[in-house]
Structure 1
Amino acid sequence: MSTSKKHALSDDESNAERTPIKHHLTPLELQKKQLDKLLEKIDKPVRIPERPTAKPINREPKDYVKNIQGSSAGAGSGDFHVYRAGRRREYARLKQMDEESKEEREQREYEEKIQAKKAEDEEKTEKNRNKRQRRKQRANNNRQNKKRADARSDDDDEGGSDKEDKEDKDDKDDKRSDQEGSDKEDR
């Protein structure tokens, strides 16, 4: 009985066995296979690796040096390729250092240019803001002066003589109080 269970295959396993395994897939079939695999577990998040920004050409220096020449050894014809490979690595290292310094300088210049442009824009914005506020203030003052002038003209039309009499009376009272204050100081 246990042997029959071992040999009995589930539906999934039987389907997997029936489909022939292809080793030489066309690009279209390969892409379809990859998409099918991704879509099997749709809830699982897919990690998409980021592309490296710049590959460092320079490798870490080796801990050991294999081709050591003694002081009495002459340069043989077999050592030229070793010299040339070392020279090529050194030139590549210098080129990379130059490129990095150039990129840093360009980045610094770009940042300075951006800062200068922002400062210029801010200055222009501030100037325009002040100009706008002065124009608004002038318009408000003109409106208020116009309202006052309209109110005075309305008062003059309705009998502005009462108002003028009141103002004259106030002026006389002020003069009297000033005279009384000066008389008290004299005493």
Structure 2
Amino acid sequence: MSTAAKHNRSSDDEGAGGASASAGPKKHHLTPLELQKKQLDKLLEKIDKPVYIPERPGQKNTSSREPKNYVKNVQGSSAGAGSGEFHVYRAGRRREYARLKNMELGSKEEREQREYEARIEAKRAADEEKTEKNRSKRQRRKQRASNNKLSKRKEDDNRSDDDEENGRDDDEEEEGRSSNRAQEKDEQ
């Protein structure tokens, strides 16, 4: 059978709904994207079930490996110590240095935390002071604006009272102003 015939026969089987079409999707190695999609789909099927999300590893926890504060082998000042005593001495010295280093790290972290909190508090106080200053400026501006409105209303009320007493209307007053302007232009 030729390759063209084989190709035609396999395409006919797929089109006719043969065994290869009913077997479902082909199994193959999943790409990372497909694997992640599959996992997310599985999680979304049971949306009410809580999901465990692991914590991100942070700093090394030095407190879990703190050196012991007691010493088992107390070395004396006797001369002629054996060859194994040097290793005991070195291990004790290493433990002591580790203990001192942990104490220094702890005090350094505590000092940095206090300095950080002091800086934050200073910035917060400066911001609050600036905010209060701006707030008082706004209040003064509002007060002046309201005082100006009140004084203008009083002036307008006084003018309208004066105009009514003189028997002039606003229209007549406007005509009088325009005629005064015209006279001033003629004089120039």
Q: Structure 1 length as normaliser, TM-score? A: 0.57
User: Structure 1: how far apart are the matches of 2:159 and 2:39?
Assistant: 89
Of 129, 133, 148, the residue aligned with 1:123 is: 129
User: Structure 1: how far apart are the matches of 2:60 and 2:128?
Assistant: 35
User: Structure 2: how far apart are the matches of 1:124 and 1:75?
Assistant: 71
* Number of equivalenced pairs: 132
> 1:150: which partner in 2?
156
Q: CA deviation at 1:45?
A: 3.0
**Deviation string for 1:121-168 (max 9, x for gaps)?**
11111111011101110111011101110111111011169xxxxxxx
Structure 2, gaps ≥5 residues long: 1-30, 168-188
User: Structure 2: how far apart are the matches of 1:75 and 1:111?
Assistant: 52
> 1:102: which partner in 2?
108
Does residue 47 in structure 1 map to residue 40 in structure 2?
no
Name the SS of the counterpart of 2:68 in structure 1.
Answer: coil
Instruction: Give structure 1 regions of 4+ aligned residues with deviation exceeding 6 angstroms.
Output: 34-39
Q: CA deviation at 1:40?
A: 5.3
Q: CA deviation at 1:68?
A: 5.8
User: Structure 2: how far apart are the matches of 1:154 and 1:141?
Assistant: 20
> 1:59: which partner in 2?
66
Q: CA deviation at 1:70?
A: 6.6
Ranked by relative contact order (alpha carbons within 8 Å, sequence separation 6 or more), the top structure is: 1
**Deviation string for 1:30-71 (max 9, x for gaps)?**
xx5x99788656534332332254311643528883x56577
User: Structure 1: how far apart are the matches of 2:80 and 2:112?
Assistant: 46
In terms of mean alpha carbon deviation, does 78-87 or 50-59 score higher? 50-59
> 2:140: which partner in 1?
134
Q: CA deviation at 1:117?
A: 1.1
User: Structure 2: how far apart are the matches of 1:49 and 1:107?
Assistant: 27
Report 1:146-185 matches (<5 A).
146-159=152-165
| Matched letter for residue 105 of structure 1 | R
Q: Structure 2 length as normaliser, TM-score? A: 0.57
User: Structure 1: how far apart are the matches of 2:39 and 2:154?
Assistant: 83
Percent of pairs identical after alignment? 59
Name the SS of the counterpart of 1:77 in structure 2.
Answer: coil
Q: CA deviation at 1:85?
A: 1.4
User: Structure 1: how far apart are the matches of 2:105 and 2:129?
Assistant: 36
User: Structure 2: how far apart are the matches of 1:89 and 1:124?
Assistant: 52
- RMSD, matched Cα: 3.5
